[in-house]
C-alpha cells in the first residue's frame, strides 16, 4: 500500500474527515486552528477554507443540502451556510458555568439523523462526580454503570503496542474501523467478539498520528487525515 501526502500544509489538529460523495471532495477540520477545509482529489488542492472563531469538534453536512453544515464549535451546535457564512446557534450542549471548562469534541449522526457528540475538558483538571447531572438545557450527563468493554488495548495480547484508540467508523457489515493513534495502524474490529477481523482488515501507515477513516469514503481511496504537531 502506497501512502503519500496529498498537500503541503501542516495542520495543528487535522480531524473529523467526511467524504462528500455529492461533490467528490473530502471535508475535514483543523480543530485547534478553528478551520474547515474542503480537499478536491482531482485537482489535488484545497478548494474551500472556512475560518471560524472557536475550536471545532466536528461537523456533518445536511442530507438535503451539502452546502449547509451542522458544526459543533466550542460549547455550541450551529447551523452554518457555506454560501452566505450565516451561522445560527441551534443549542448549547455544555454549561458555561461548569466548574470544568469543556468543549464539544468528536461527533457523528446516526441512521435517523440524531447527533451524538462527546465532550472534553479545555484543560485537564480532576473532578469527582457521582450519579446523574443535568445541565441548564435539559441535556444529560450520566455515570458509566452500564458500560461494556469490547476491546481493552492494555489487557488484550497483541494490542498493548498499538497506541491509543481514536476515531471510529462503522461499515455496512457493522464492523468497526478503529484508528490507533501513535502506531499508524487502522484495524477492523468485530464488536461481537472484540477481536480484529483478520490481517486483511488491517491498514498500516508509515506515519504515527492517524485519526479516522472518513464516513462515506470513496471506495477507490482511503483518506485518513493525519494530525500534525
Q: Residues marked as binding?
A: 15, 103, 105
Q: Residues marked as binding for substrate?
A: 103, 105
**What is the pTM assigned to this prediction?**
0.67
Q: Residues marked as binding for a divalent metal cation?
A: 15
Q: What are phi and psi of 116, to 5 degrees?
A: -115, 125
- Cβ count near 125 (within 10 Å): 9
Note whether 58 and 36 are within 8 A (CB).
no
Strand partners, 196: 189
Q: What is the mean pLDDT of the chain?
A: 76
Rounded Cα–Cα distance for residues 32 and 55 (Å): 5
User: Is the sign of the CA dihedral 202, 205, 209, 215 positive or negative?
Assistant: negative
Q: What is the CA angle 165-91-74, rounded to 5?
A: 50
Rounded Cα–Cα distance for residues 167 and 164 (Å): 10
**Residue range 7-21, pLDDT digits in tens:** 667 777 788 888 888
Strand partners, 179: 186
- Cβ count near 115 (within 10 Å): 17
Mean pLDDT of 51-59: 93
pLDDT at 49 over 70: yes
Amino acid at each position: 500500500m502506497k501512502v503519500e501526502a496529498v498537500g503541503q500544509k501542516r495542520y495543528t489538529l487535522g480531524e473529523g474527515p467526511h467524504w462528500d460523495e455529492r461533490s467528490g471532495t473530502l471535508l475535514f477540520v483543523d480543530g485547534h486552528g478553528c478551520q474547515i477545509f474542503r480537499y478536491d482529489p482531482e485537482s489535488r488542492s484545497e478548494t474551500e477554507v472556512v475560518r471560524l472563531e472557536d475550536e471545532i469538534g466536528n461537523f456533518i453536512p445536511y442530507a438535503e443540502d451539502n452546502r449547509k453544515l451542522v458544526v459543533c464549535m466550542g460549547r455550541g451546535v450551529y447551523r452554518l451556510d457555506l454560501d452566505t457564512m450565516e451561522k445560527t446557534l441551534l443549542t448549547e450542549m455544555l454549561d458555561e458555568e461548569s466548574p470544568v471548562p469543556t468543549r464539544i469534541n468528536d461527533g457523528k449522526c446516526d441512521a435517523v439523523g440524531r447527533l451524538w457528540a462527546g465532550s472534553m475538558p479545555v484543560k485537564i483538571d480532576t473532578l469527582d462526580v457521582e450519579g446523574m447531572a443535568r445541565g441548564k438545557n435539559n441535556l444529560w450527563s450520566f455515570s458509566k454503570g452500564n458500560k461494556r468493554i469490547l476491546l481493552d488495548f492494555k489487557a488484550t495480547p497483541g494490542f498493548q503496542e498499538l497506541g491509543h484508540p481514536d476515531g471510529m467508523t462503522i461499515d455496512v457489515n457493522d464492523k468497526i474501523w478503529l484508528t490507533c493513534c501513535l502506531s499508524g495502524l487502522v484495524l477492523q474490529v468485530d464488536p461481537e467478539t472484540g477481536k480484529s477481523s483478520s490481517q486483511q482488515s488491517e491498514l498500516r501507515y508509515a506515519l504515527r498520528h492517524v485519526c479516522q477513516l472518513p464516513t462515506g469514503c470513496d471506495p477507490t481511496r482511503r483518506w485518513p487525515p493525519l494530525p500534525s504537531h
